[in-house]
Structure 1
């Protein structure tokens, strides 16, 4: 069973990793790159996705680890 998708979101004092559906952040980081790497580590272990949000809150990047719903052909 796949784990929760991990979202990288901006906070007042930096960036946070938050599991989908969780009420609290998993971790806090000074820069977005650190938060993204932490989210990727969690997603690799859980076989889930990472969704990186920009400063405007919109998803700007997404990576799948594990069961990719749309694998490339050939």
Structure 2
């Protein structure tokens, strides 16, 4: 494959960013509003956790590329 650890980390961050952005867009959609209160709460929590994980990956990438 030829991918380094750093390459894989960048790919992971990029894929997570796409998923986080997609979920964020869904959270402000009409479809989201039609969900049950419990599902909405879980999706909001999932978004928070994905965002936090993305921030961790950002810090790791920063430390690895200094």
TM-score calculated relative to the size of structure 2: 0.29
Higher relative contact order, chain-length normalized (CA < 8 Å, sep 6+):
2
Structure (1/2) with the larger strand percentage? 1
More helix by share: 2
